[in-house]
A and B are shown apart, each in its own frame.
Chain A
Amino acid sequence: AQTVTQSQPEMSVQEAETVTLSCTYDTSENNYYLFWYKQPPSRQMILVIRQEAYKQQNATENRFSVNFQKAAKSFSLKISDSQLGDTAMYFCAFMITNTGNQFYFGTGTSLTVIP
């Protein structure tokens, strides 16, 4: 079975500070990709960052970076210099590639950036 666990239902951070969102997953597959998606109140799902499981180097996208620990099956998201527009629900997900590009999502972390 494939599972994704986000243990922090809600988090808050002061504007310009740094925050880390946690995610762990479980799979027996070897080939997969990991993602963080952002869902603002508009409900649109927006890709934040992507990590290939076969790559040891952690992915970065501007203010967003991940800490990928494959052995521990951990995939945390760090947001630096938090901005008001970062307020949203954040979903961790992974995709197995054997068939169908099936995605498995966590239950989400609601992040509020406080001015």
Chain B
Amino acid sequence: NAGVTQTPKFQVLKTGQSMTLQCAQDMNHEYMSWYRQDPGMGLRLIHYSVGAGITDQGEVPNGYNVSRSTTEDFPLRLLSAAPSQTSVYFCASSYRIGGEATKETQYFGPGTRLLVL
């Protein structure tokens, strides 16, 4: 299994540009999430999905869109990049609690470092 994969690893954008951060998992996890990590802030939830076709907002959703057309993929779209979105973005996936009792945790991708100028 490749686990959770994210592309690109690093991206530089200009203010106002749009882009999509890709996330894929091959573990057949129902739940997927996007987090951003800023210095001194820990990880904060942007959006999450409990299955294909179902998404919901997390703690800091403004400026981001998501969709979940398949179980495997959960892309994060920046509509109009702003310097405040400079951050490291992590995608994560997990089983539904109770689906497999030994796997109540999230598996994280390697992260995408985004710089908005």
Contacts and interface: CB of A to CB of B under 8 A. Distances in A.
Interface in A1-56: 4, 33, 35, 42-45, 47, 50, 52
Contacts of A69: none
A105 B106 contact: no
Contacts, number: 63
Interface stretch (B16-24, B41-49, B60-68): B41-49
B7 to A, nearest CB: 15
A57 interface: no
Contacts of B111: 43-44
B94 A91 contact: no
B117 interface: no
Interface residues of B, number: 26
A108 B97 contact: no
11 contacts: A44-B108, A45-B43, A45-B92, A45-B108, A97-B97, A99-B50, A100-B56, A103-B45, A104-B45, A107-B41, A108-B42
Interface of B: 31, 33, 35, 40-45, 48-50, 56, 58, 88, 90, 92, 94, 96-97, 104-106, 108, 110-111
